[in-house]
């Protein structure tokens, strides 16, 4: 099969292409229309078809795979390891669904899941799918204000949480965060279902808390039938950082998502039923949704879920997991590989990696030194890919299951089937010539599995994604890229104010708002700069209310720590700037707009370029001096 012909058919004749792919999943009621284009930019896939994500991920495999491992759970934080066959997973999901149903969860209602990386998180996601409820997973590292904002937007009828999580040997007490979020939220769910891991130092006994274990025992043998949903009913909401400071609720469908993921396991990941996939991510991110939970189970594979870091107890833990569980496919972020590169190479060499066929990397640009090192160290194919929370599955990759094209270091690959991807000039909207920098865009319609809309805000979906390229009704990824004569695209960075830290998208506006809430702060600009380990790091440039806007060396360290604590409280440690610089002023245009690109350029030691509209050129010098002082 030739890639070019395959891709051409997928974008020129999507109805026939996706009709064939839809045969990968079970339809309780066949669809009567592959694609409804009647209301662009919205697209509806497999209209009239009724299916269920949980049935396709679990029940469908019971006749042939009941005794095959479906989920392998390993926690180096607690020392616990558990294996669940497809029969075990079916039973646990039914118990969780029965418990949720007893607490009033019904079809179409939202359930917010705020859990660490534990098996119950998978049970909860699949139980929602079984009931026809809409799950919204919130990363366990987010602080109470972020959790409260998501509660208010999703308005869940139930929140599922745990007493605590663990990371790097430290216990993170969840219940005070949940309690604060419930107090902050204008809308609060009536019940919080608590998974008690007995890790928290103190047990919170709020009236809304309900223990899961007694209810699980009560519903131990209950069978909950699957709700058959029309293909375009929502399956989940996943919040992603936005440039306005208010996170966007990416809404995904049921049927299109199932078909897209099932196809991707063959065409992109070369996964086969019976294989074992280890995706080293978190269920709070889209990679965790798609490639820890749904895709491997849809394909009849075994998925490995890991709680811990890549270097604890030592830098060989992931390689030992590959050996112990005979892992065939592994998926992580370049940041993790850069961390492992610093470890003793003997830890990698000592593990039996003969089962591993391919390492997949995504979440941020893969630099050539890292790619070359891990390729040589493993002696296995290393396949980059590029996508977003909004797309749900890769849009650029070497699709080895279609045609094993060569990898080009620095590029995640060529456009994936289904994506009509075009680089466009930011000023004219016209397609770019080969080698010309442009905005990466997708033509209408987006393929199955991509976002349907922004939850509760169709207008924001249209304005944000479909009206930002001049004169062209196309979807903007907000990423710069350049495409060569062979069709390979290289990612050059963001066009908006979202940065990518270790594969996690963070809105600089959100971090700025958190820092601005501190009483000492008058102004702040947060920018992303290149980081050798994390891909990008957030730097904050702060103007203080007193002392002429600057801080004395004696006060700077204390103030920086105080600002970091403020960010931790409002966003969680993941949003904490790598460094805080105190400056007397920030560079702005005469109309008052912050020159973030100029700040980022100076922070990286680059020329900020010609800035004829700058209000006060001396502000640039203050940025240079702050960076220079911080690096000395």
Q: In the chain, pLDDT over 70 holds for what percent of residues?
A: 94
pLDDT value at residue 243: 43
The first and second tokens of residue 538, run together, are 């957030």
Contact (CB, 8 A) for 444 and 474: yes
Contact (CB, 8 A) for 627 and 600: no
Say which range, 68-72, 111-115, 134-138, 164-168, has the weakest mean pLDDT: 164-168
pLDDT tops 90 at residue 5:
yes
- Residue 300: inside a domain, yes or no? no
- Residue 179: inside a domain, yes or no? no
Residue 402: burial class (beta carbons within 10 Å; 0-12, 13-18, 19+)? buried
Spatial separation of the C-alpha atoms in residues 311 and 290, rounded to whole Å: 25
Q: What is the mean pLDDT of residues 176-183?
A: 92
- Residue 540: inside a domain, yes or no? yes
pTM: 0.84
- Residue 600: inside a domain, yes or no? yes
The distance of Cα 301 from the centroid of its chain, to the nearest Å, equals: 21
Q: What is the greatest pairwise CA distance in the chain?
A: 73
pLDDT tops 60 at residue 42:
yes
pLDDT value at residue 548: 52
Q: How many C-beta neighbours within 10 Å does residue 342 have?
A: 9
Distances, alpha carbon 396 to alpha carbons 348, 362, 486, 631, in Å: 29, 10, 13, 36
- Residue 590: inside a domain, yes or no? yes
Mean pLDDT over each residue of the chain, to the nearest integer: 91
Closest CA to 126 of 141, 111, 138: 111
Closest CA to 451 of 388, 386, 521: 388
Spatial separation of the C-alpha atoms in residues 290 and 58, rounded to whole Å: 15
Spatial separation of the C-alpha atoms in residues 41 and 267, rounded to whole Å: 27
pLDDT tops 50 at residue 227:
yes
- Residue 560: inside a domain, yes or no? yes
Could you give the number of structural domains in the chain? Answer: 1
- Residue 535: inside a domain, yes or no? yes
Q: For 357-407, what is each residue's pLDDT tens digit?
A: 999 999 877 877 788 889 999 999 999 999 999 999 999 999 999 999 999
Residue 244 pLDDT grade (very low, low, confident, very high; cuts 50, 70, 90): very low
Domain containing 586 equals: 516-631
143 cis-preceded (ω within 30 degrees of 0)? no
Overall residue count recorded for the chain in this entry: 632
Distances, alpha carbon 213 to alpha carbons 194, 210, 537, 563, in Å: 9, 9, 41, 40
Q: For 81-136, what is each residue's pLDDT tens digit?
A: 999 999 999 999 999 999 999 999 999 999 999 999 999 999 999 999 999 999 99
pLDDT value at residue 549: 47
- CATH classification at residue 569: 3.30.300.30
- Residue 576: inside a domain, yes or no? yes
pLDDT value at residue 629: 78
Residue 476 pLDDT grade (very low, low, confident, very high; cuts 50, 70, 90): very high
């Amino acid at each position: 099969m030739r890639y070019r012909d395959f891709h051409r058919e997928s974008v020129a004749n999507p109805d026939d292409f996706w009709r064939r792919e839809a045969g990968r999943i079970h339809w309780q009621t066949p669809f009567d229309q592959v694609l409804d284009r009647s209301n662009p930019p919205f697209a509806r896939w497999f209209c009239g078809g009724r299916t269920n994500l949980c049935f396709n991920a679990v029940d469908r495999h019971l006749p042939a795979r009941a005794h095959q491992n479906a989920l392998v759970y390993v926690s180096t934080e607690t020392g616990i390891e558990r294996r669940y066959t497809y029969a075990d997973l079916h039973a646990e999901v039914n118990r969780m669904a029965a418990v949720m149903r007893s607490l009033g969860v019904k079809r179409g209602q939202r359930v917010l899941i705020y859990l660490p990386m534990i098996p119950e998180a998978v049970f909860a996601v699949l139980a929602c799918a079984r009931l026809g409820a809409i799950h919204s997973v919130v990363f366990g590292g987010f602080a109470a204000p972020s959790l409260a904002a998501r509660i208010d937007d999703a308005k869940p009828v139930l929140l599922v949480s745990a007493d605590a999580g663990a990371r790097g040997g430290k216990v993170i007490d969840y219940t005070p965060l949940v309690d604060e979020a419930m107090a902050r939220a204008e809308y609060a769910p009536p019940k919080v279902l608590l998974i008690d891991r007995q890790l928290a130092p103190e047990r919170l006994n709020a009236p809304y808390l309900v223990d899961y274990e007694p209810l699980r025992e009560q519903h131990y043998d209950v069978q909950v039938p699957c709700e058959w949903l029309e293909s375009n009913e929502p399956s989940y909401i996943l919040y992603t950082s936005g440039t306005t400071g208010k996170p966007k609720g990416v809404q995904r469908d049921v049927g299109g998502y199932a078909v897209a993921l099932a196809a991707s396991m063959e065409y992109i990941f070369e996964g086969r039923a019976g294989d074992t996939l280890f995706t080293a991510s978190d269920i709070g991110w889209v990679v965790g949704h798609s490639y820890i939970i749904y895709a491997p189970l849809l394909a009849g594979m075994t998925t490995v879920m890991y709680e811990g870091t890549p270097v604890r107890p030592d830098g060989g833990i992931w390689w030992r997991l590959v050996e112990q569980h005979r892992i065939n496919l592994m998926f992580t972020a370049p940041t993790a590989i850069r961390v492992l590169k610093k470890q003793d190479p003997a830890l990698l060499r000592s593990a039996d990696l003969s089962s591993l066929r391919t390492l997949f990397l995504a979440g941020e640009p893969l630099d050539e030194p890292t790619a070359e090192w891990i390729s040589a160290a493993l002696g296995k194919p290393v396949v980059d890919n590029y996508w977003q929370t909004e797309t749900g599955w890769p849009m650029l990759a070497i699709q080895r299951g279609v045609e094993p094209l060569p990898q080009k270091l620095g590029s995640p690959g060529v456009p994936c089937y289904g994506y009509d991807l075009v680089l466009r000039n930011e000023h004219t909207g016209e397609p770019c010539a080969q080698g010309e920098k442009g905005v990466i865009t997708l033509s209408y319609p987006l393929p199955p599995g991509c976002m349907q809309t922004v939850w509760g805000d169709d207008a924001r979906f249209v304005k944000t994604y479909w009206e930002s390229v001049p004169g062209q009704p196309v979807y903007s990824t907000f990423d710069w890229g350049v495409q060569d004569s062979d069709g390979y695209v290289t990612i050059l960075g963001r066009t908006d104010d979202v940065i990518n830290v270790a594969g996690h998208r963070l809105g600089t506006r959100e971090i700025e708002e958190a820092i601005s809430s501190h009483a000492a702060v008058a102004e702040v600009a947060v920018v992303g700069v290149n980081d050798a380990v994390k891909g990008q790091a957030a730097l904050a440039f702060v103007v203080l209310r007193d002392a002429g806007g600057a801080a004395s060396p004696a006060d700077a360290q204390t103030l920086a720590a105080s600002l970091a604590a403020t960010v931790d409280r409002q966003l969680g440690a993941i949003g904490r700037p790598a460094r805080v610089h105190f400056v007397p002023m920030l560079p702005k245009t005469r109309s008052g707009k912050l020159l973030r690109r100029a700040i980022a350029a100076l922070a990286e030691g680059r020329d900020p370029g010609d800035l004829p509209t700058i209000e006060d050129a001396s502000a640039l010098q203050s940025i240079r001096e702050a960076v220079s002082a911080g690096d000395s």
